[in-house]
Amino acid sequence: MAAQQEATILVGKKPTTNYVIATVMQFNQGSKRVILKARGSAIARAVAAATMVRDRFLAGQVDIREVKLLSDKITGQGGKERVVAAVEIVIERK
């Protein structure tokens, strides 16, 4: 199977290193671009994973190309809409 050029990883509540490993694996499998997406309190974890990949695990090999900050509307319990902050961090192979 041909490797996808672009991969998206949803960052949730697992330890940061899980997302670091997932990102590094995507690049090692040939992805040119990995997008980390996170909402709410997982945002800090996505940022930590992205900087660890750029500055340690793939130092000199990838760049953080773009960081988008968004407001996502989600429907919570009871059908009430609320707004949460979200990020999309685009990491690209140099």
Q: Is 17 in the site for a copy of itself (CB under 8 A)?
A: no
Q: How far is the CB of 56 from a copy of itself (least distance, A)?
A: 8
Alpha carbon dihedral 66, 71, 72, 76, in 10-degree steps, equals 140
34 part of the interface to a copy of itself, by CB under 8 A: no
Handedness of CA 59, 53, 66, 94 (dihedral sign): positive
Position 36 contacts a copy of itself (CB under 8 A): no
Judged by CB under 8 A, the number of residues near a copy of itself is 23
Judge contact between 8 and 19, C-beta under 8 A.
Answer: no
The answer to the question of residue 41 lying near a copy of itself (CB under 8 A) is yes
